[in-house]
Amino acid sequence: MIRASISDLADLLSHEVEVRGWLARMRSSGKIHFLQLRDGSGFVQGVLELNAANEDLFEAAKKLRIETSLIVRGVVKEDKRAPGGVELQLTDLDAVQVPEKDFPINKPDHGIDYLMENRHLWIRTKRQADILRIRHEILKTIRQFYDDRAFTLVDTPIITGSIGESAGNCFEIDYFDYGKAYLAQTGQLYLEAACMSLGNVYNLGPTFRAEKSKTRRHLIEFWMNEAEMAYHGHEENIGLQEELVSFIVNAVLEECPDELASVGRDLSRLQNIVPPFPRMSYSEAVRFLQKKGFSVNWGDDIGGDEETVLAEGFEKPVVIERYPASSKAFYMQPDPDDETVVLCNDMLAPEGYGEIIGASERIFEKATLVRKIEEFGLDLESYKWYLELREFGTVQHSGFGMGIERVVSWICGLEHVREAIPFARTLYRIYP
RNA sequence: UCCAGCGUGGCUCAACUGGCAGAGCGUCCGGCUGUUAACCGGAUGGUUGGGGGUUCGAGUCCCUCCGCUGGAGCCA
């Protein structure tokens, strides 16, 4: 008797195995039961035929319900009728726990409110498990990408003082006698400090935005990967982003073909994602949108609909660079050729998935940074340590942040980022 | 926060212009030795989100509250 994972059964033909898992679905034709089993590694159909020797077992199996946890024993048989090519001829079965109630999710016709209310159980379904497996692959690949390039992982703090872009859209918490503290919206400023020690650094973790955003692209708590590179400028920054995104897409194509197929992704839209990506300046983008009939003027923000139009002509993500200084954060390096714009870029995913990366070269001269902080009406005192980074061996440096759930949504072809994270925190939902 | 929409059995939805609350799925019982969202027969299941109003009569119209969905702004 071999204890086996379902995913390994194809290599165990004719062996007697034990599988520990759950009953995903059950059908019966009177004298033959079909038990669809899952164990986290895959699905397999267990077949139990009534015969003189197993009447008690056959009768007991009738009492099982969907999501019964159970340990089964049987012989692995090749069968062309089975989806995975193999079946289990069951010889024995122990129910660990038989549910007293019906499993709430049993047909693919539930509404999204109901599914989110039952998210803790919804993730047991194949499609949701496949999405979470792809997410895992993406996170694993991100770490591998940086590790291959000798970047150092630096875990930036989740609780911060009143530093950041503006405290208005931060979650406030009480920090003992210190007073108010905030949940991090970004680890960037800390990565800037770390890259002056370690050269090339990255982080990967949750961030929080107390914005009442209510769209298919927004979560209150989302995961972000940020990178920061010393002695790197705008061009090298974009180059690294293109490599990273291409690396992720190709790794998922390579490692998760079954999962992508089961979530219904059109793979042709993910192939040939290799550097370089199409590129456009903000000014070009505005002229392009004006030709398409949008009423945007230079200096306006580019909204969701505009982003979709900009990206739709391309198979690869599009890089939009050099936005107006007034519309971007204070720390971005002005373009030496045109001080009205800054050396920054966004990367827009194809098919309307929107901004997946925001990036910039950072101001490295203290005097320029002080001037910008004052122009933006921010408090110099609260940027004390950030300014000190420019007092001790300051160098040109650049970095970016990539939204994990948006990348997962794009690669999986999801309608909404809430399925791209195990337990989404959205504007009006914090349960389960 | 603003704009729009939705709320009817456990789930997904019908119900004309205000006139007897229905179907499919699930569940339960019975049948079926190759089912894949199995199938066939029967049964079960309702304070139409809460409150108030108009009306002979409200699931339907009005007010209000609650919940949810989509979008906007902001962003990744």
Name residue A242's beta-bridge partners: none
Q: What dihedral angle (degrees, nearest 10) is formed by the CA atoms of A141, A143, A144, A148? A: 140
**CB count, 10 Å around CB of A330?**
19
Asked if strand B contacts A133 at the CB level, meaning under 7 A, the answer is: no
- Nearest nucleotide relative to A109: CA against C1': B12
Confidence (pLDDT) at A427: 86
Q: Which nucleotide is nearest to A300 (CA to C1')?
A: B73
Cβ within 7 Å of strand B: which of A 137-156?
none
Cβ A304 vs Cβ A354: under 8 Å: yes
Does residue A25 carry a pLDDT above 80? yes
Q: Where are the beta strands (DSSP E) in A219-301?
A: 221-230, 279-281
Strand B: positions under 7 A of a protein C-beta atom: 1-2, 10-13, 24-28, 31-38, 67-76
Summary mean pLDDT of chain A:
92
Looking at mean pLDDT, say which of A169-173, A176-180, A300-304, A420-424 comes out highest.
Answer: A420-424
Token pair 């520990």 is found at: A20
Lowest mean pLDDT among A24-28, A103-107, A265-269, A337-341: A103-107
Decide if A296 contacts A289 (C-beta within 8 A): yes
The reply to whether A51 has its C-beta less than 7 Å from any atom of strand B is yes
Task: Find the Å distance, CA of residue A214 to C1' of nucleotide B4.
Answer: 14
What structural domains does chain A harbor? 2-97 (2.40.50.140), 119-420 (3.30.930.10)
Q: Which nucleotide is nearest to A28 (CA to C1')?
A: B35
Q: Which two tokens stand for residue A316?
A: 């690869």
pLDDT of residue A302: 87
pLDDT at A163: 61
Phi, psi of A168 (to 5 degrees): -55, -40
Give the ipTM of the model, two decimals please.
0.90
Residues 359-398 (A) near nucleic chain B, CB < 7 A: none
Pick out residues 69-128 of chain A having their CB under 7 A from any atom of nucleic acid strand B: 79, 81-83, 87, 102, 104, 106-114, 116
The residues that bridge with A222 in the sheet, in sequence order, are: A207
Q: What is the pLDDT of residue A168?
A: 60
The DSSP H or E segment spanning A417 is none
Would residue A156 be called left, alpha or beta, if left means φ above 0 and alpha means ψ between -120 and 50 degrees? beta
Q: Is the Cβ–Cβ distance between A369 and A391 less than 8 Å?
A: no
Token pair for residue A209? 């935005």
Report pTM: 0.94
pLDDT tier at A53 (50, 70, 90 boundaries)?
confident
Which stretches of A199-256 are DSSP H helices?
234-255
Phi, psi (deg, nearest 5) at residue A255: -95, -25
Q: Is the CB of A301 under 7 A from strand B?
A: yes
Please answer whether residues A307 and A406 qualify as being in contact, where contact means their C-beta atoms are separated by less than 8 angstroms: no
Nucleotide nearest to A79 in CA–C1' terms: B34
Q: Which sign does the torsion angle of CA A76, A81, A84, A90 carry? A: negative
Relative to beta strand A318-321, strand A279-281 is parallel
d(C-alpha A300, C-alpha A287), whole Å:
12
What proportion of chain A, given as a percentage, has pLDDT over 90? 70
Contact between residue A221 and residue A206 where contact means Cβ atoms under 8 Å apart: yes
CA distances, A380 to each of A156, A166, A360, A364, A376 (Å)? 22, 13, 21, 16, 10
- Name, in order, each residue with C-beta under 8 angstroms of A431's C-beta and a sequence gap of 6 or more: A117
